[in-house]
Amino acid sequence: MDDEFEAYEAGRKDGLAAQRDPARAGHPALGRDYRMGFIDGRMEIYRMHADVRKIVEDGQ
């Protein structure tokens, strides 16, 4: 189970950095966990951008 969490966390970090690792994403056993972490990292960035946009628009 630790391997799955490590793959997820690696994917999340890569998602935040916008750098996908095709080898990890394609791993037969841990690829799914990596891809889920990557998507969660990208969603976190999307939400952060949306919050900044809202702050800027509300400040005008």
Q: Label residue 31 exposed, middle or buried (CB < 10 Å: 0-12, 13-18, 19+).
A: middle
The model's pTM is 0.86
| Segments of the chain scoring below 70 in pLDDT | 60
Which pLDDT score, from 0 to 100, does residue 44 have?
97
Which pLDDT score, from 0 to 100, does residue 59 have?
76
